Amino acid sequence: IRDIRLLYGGRHRNHPAITILRGRKVLVEPLGDAEKNGALVDIDGESPGRIPATFEILPGALTLRG
């Protein structure tokens, strides 16, 4: 996204190059060579690694307190 301001308020969702999908398990893979195209993963300011990466919803795995 050339204009980072679109991210604020979710306006990037209407961008023609953005596709939004839902699922319980998502595999993110780079196009072509993973060594060249393995983008960093950013999760709430933490960088646990690069793609390819699998993200999965695990029911009951997280306890939140109010």
Q: What is the pLDDT of residue 2?
A: 65
**Is the C-alpha dihedral spanning 38, 40, 43, 47 positive or negative?**
positive
Where in the chain are the domains?
23-58
* Helices within 1-66 (DSSP H only): 34-37
Average pLDDT over residues 1-28: 80
Statement: residue 13 has pLDDT above 90: no
Average pLDDT over residues 17-21: 82
- In angstroms, rounded to a whole number, what is the distance separating the alpha carbons of residues 7 and 32? 26
